[in-house]
Amino acid sequence: MTLNNAKFVIKVPASSANLGPGFDSIGVALTLYLTLEVEKSEKWECYSKSEELKDLPTDEQHFICQIALQTAAKYGKELHPCKIKLESDIPLARGLGSSASAIIAGIELADHVGELGLTKQDKLLLSTEIEGHPDNVGASLYGGLVIGSYQQGEVDIIPITAISFEMVAVIPKESLLTKDSRGVLPTEFSYSNAIQASSTSNVLIAALLSQNWELAGKMMEKDLFHQPYRKPLIPFYGDVENFAKTEGAFGVALSGAGPTVLCFCEKGKGRLLEQSIQSTFPEMAAKLLSIDYTGSSIFTVNNCTAN
């Protein structure tokens, strides 16, 4: 391992999963970011000025460090301790992929410091094994819109960057843990329901790729996999959905497991939608987001050379 004294930065985008019927298989990278500024140190240190991160562990027990150490150990490497400054504008436990971005950051840290030489496919498989599904981690790693499948220890993903729309995230103050949100889901589906649910997901992808926004929004509403069970946990969902659609949103869906609600609109229409939602729902934060097309990246602080 040869880590010089130069600082480097790891930048990982947030993500939203499912987009309605694409349960555990469709994700999109968002323009919110987790950023790590890393330098060689005598011991593991993590610190942050971000309000949501300041109470997390400050040593190697930090989740990102644990992911990095576990990843390196998998390849028989020991990582040199690092001092890590963390900044993030990704809200925790709000359905915006904060854990997935941390997993990707940890794997990128291990790969760079430990000189593991991992390919993107390697990183995707590692992160999917940890997360359990490829939608959030795939989006944070590749950027763009991703469609993925994880079966029998193999993960396949298609990242799509030739697509453009805007989103307004409606973020409540209250958090919702994924494990609690998953607890309301059924354990099995009937054959006919499975066909109907999967066909809805298929049409969603076709509608998005063909820019048939109205149809895409219709498919988001027809989800059978998770939203019918999770919406009761989100008491404001119906009000936000109805209002956003009257203000120009072509579709509305839970972001991941919630409680954030994502309102989709054509490019150029997001700012007015954001303003109208914020005015009508002042108790929540309305945030205009775009698609991040880069995914995770590493660059040195001195010359900003991307790796």
Task: In whole angstroms, give the CA distance from residue 94 to residue 243.
Answer: 21
pLDDT in 10s for each residue of the chain, 307 residues: 345 568 999 999 999 999 999 999 999 999 999 999 999 999 999 999 888 787 899 999 999 999 999 999 999 999 999 999 999 999 998 999 999 999 999 999 999 999 999 999 999 999 999 999 999 999 999 999 999 999 999 999 999 999 999 999 999 998 877 677 788 999 999 999 999 999 999 999 999 999 999 999 999 999 999 999 999 999 999 999 999 999 999 999 999 999 999 999 999 999 999 999 999 999 999 999 999 999 999 999 864 444 5
Which tokens belong to 54? Answer: 């300041």
In the chain, the amino acid numbered 104 is: I
Helix (H, G, I), strand (E, B) or coil at 118: coil
- pLDDT score, position 202: 98
- pLDDT score, position 46: 96
- pLDDT score, position 183: 86
Q: Is 16 exposed, middle or buried (0-12, 13-18, 19+ CB in 10 A)?
A: buried
Task: In whole angstroms, give the CA distance from residue 73 to residue 62.
Answer: 16
| CA neighbor of 265 nearest in space, from 281, 279, 251 | 251
- Catalogue the E-assigned strands of 161-300: 166-171, 251-254, 261-265, 285-289, 297-300
Task: In whole angstroms, give the CA distance from residue 236 to residue 266.
Answer: 23
- pLDDT score, position 4: 58
Cβ neighbors of 91 (< 8 A, separation 6 or more) are 52, 98, 171, 175, 260
Helix (H, G, I), strand (E, B) or coil at 128: helix
* Count of beta carbons in the 10 Å neighbourhood of residue 185: 13
Task: In whole angstroms, give the CA distance from residue 54 to residue 82.
Answer: 18
- pLDDT score, position 305: 46
On whether the CB atoms of residues 281 and 274 are closer than 8 A, the answer is no
* Count of beta carbons in the 10 Å neighbourhood of residue 187: 4
Cβ neighbors of 15 (< 8 A, separation 6 or more) are 27, 28, 29, 30, 96, 97, 100, 101, 135, 136, 137, 139, 140, 256
